[in-house]
Amino acid sequence: MTRLTISHIEKLKSRREKFTCLTAYDATFAALLDKAGIEVILVGDSLGMVIQGRDTTVPVTNVDMVYHTRCVARGNKQALLIADLPYMSYATPEQAFTSAAELMQAGAQMVKLEGGEWLLPTITRLTERGVPVCAHLGLTPQSVDAFGGFRVQGRSEAAALQLLADARAVEAAGARMLVLECIPADLAARISDDLTIPTLGIGAGPGTDGQVLVLHDMLGISGLSARFVRNFMTGQESLDGAIKAYVQAVKDEQFPAPEHCFE
């Protein structure tokens, strides 16, 4: 069985069919997600918090990311596999090449990096060298200390316009997908309609092309009770049931509901 590619996700966007993504950090969960029909698996640097027990993603290294990407790649058969470039592993384009190559050789099909304007040359150069890039805007957790906490972004008119400009710029630079995290739902919908590339939302309302959650949050085992998270274990008897319920809810556009959105 061959893995899905970004072209498949692009087709889903053109058909206006929502796509599903969850994070995974090991082979067993990767296999479970894959069998349940999740189209994109993200080896997120959220592993710093849910696997390593840290307060933020800042301490995560590329050695950590390579190890978990290898584990996930062994369990996954079909889903498109994206891996996060962790904090300061892409501070210069040269550093980004080395870090991205390590993740791709560990089994990733795309790398994700956080930020807007300053990353445009890096996105272009990675793309030119055959590394598909997923950009990440809004609440970018690696900048939590600069934001002064995990706060919703893009709430003022100026901030919303800046986010729209950044989204257009990362697409023009070559990004093939864009994660939008914790921004008002109407802004995320506007960006998703404006861009050709697929958008993937977390805390960004129902208007993005796909939805992603941190696995441990949607299983109700991380202790996080954020507005945008739904515990999919509720009413289910198995992990498999919870993941299938998530896939169905995203496909049927039942999740995220208004109570999971920011205005």
Binding site for ligand KIV (CB under 6 A): 23, 42, 44-46, 84, 179, 181, 202, 212, 214
CB nearer to ligand KIV: pick between 202 and 243: 202
Judge whether 181 counts as a catalytic residue: yes
- Nearest-angstrom CA–CA distance, 202 and 181: 5
Nearest distance from C-beta of residue 59 to ligand KIV, angstroms: 13
CB nearer to ligand KIV: pick between 23 and 199: 23
CB nearer to ligand KIV: pick between 88 and 161: 88
- Nearest-angstrom CA–CA distance, 239 and 215: 10
- Nearest-angstrom CA–CA distance, 2 and 11: 17
* One-character DSSP codes across 96-110: HHHHHHHHHHTT-SE
Nearest distance from C-beta of residue 1 to ligand KIV, angstroms: 25
Instruction: Report phi then psi at 108, rounded to 5.
Output: -70, 150
- Nearest-angstrom CA–CA distance, 18 and 210: 5
CB nearer to ligand KIV: pick between 2 and 48: 48
- Nearest-angstrom CA–CA distance, 169 and 79: 27
3-state secondary structure of 17: coil
**String of b and e for 89-102 (b: at least 16 CB within 10 Å)?**
bbeeeeebbebbeb
Nearest distance from C-beta of residue 169 to ligand KIV, angstroms: 20
* CB-based contacts of 142, cutoff 8 Å, min separation 6: 45, 57, 58, 86, 87, 114
Nearest distance from C-beta of residue 196 to ligand KIV, angstroms: 21
CB nearer to ligand KIV: pick between 47 and 158: 47
- The residue number with the shortest CB distance to ligand KIV is 44
Nearest distance from C-beta of residue 130 to ligand KIV, angstroms: 23
- Nearest-angstrom CA–CA distance, 138 and 181: 5
Nearest distance from C-beta of residue 189 to ligand KIV, angstroms: 18
CB nearer to ligand KIV: pick between 56 and 236: 56
Single out the catalytic residue among 117, 157, 181, 263: 181
* One-character DSSP codes across 213-231: E-HHHHTT-S----TT---
Pick the closest to residue 183 from 168, 214, 216, 161 (CA basis). 161
Active site residues: 181
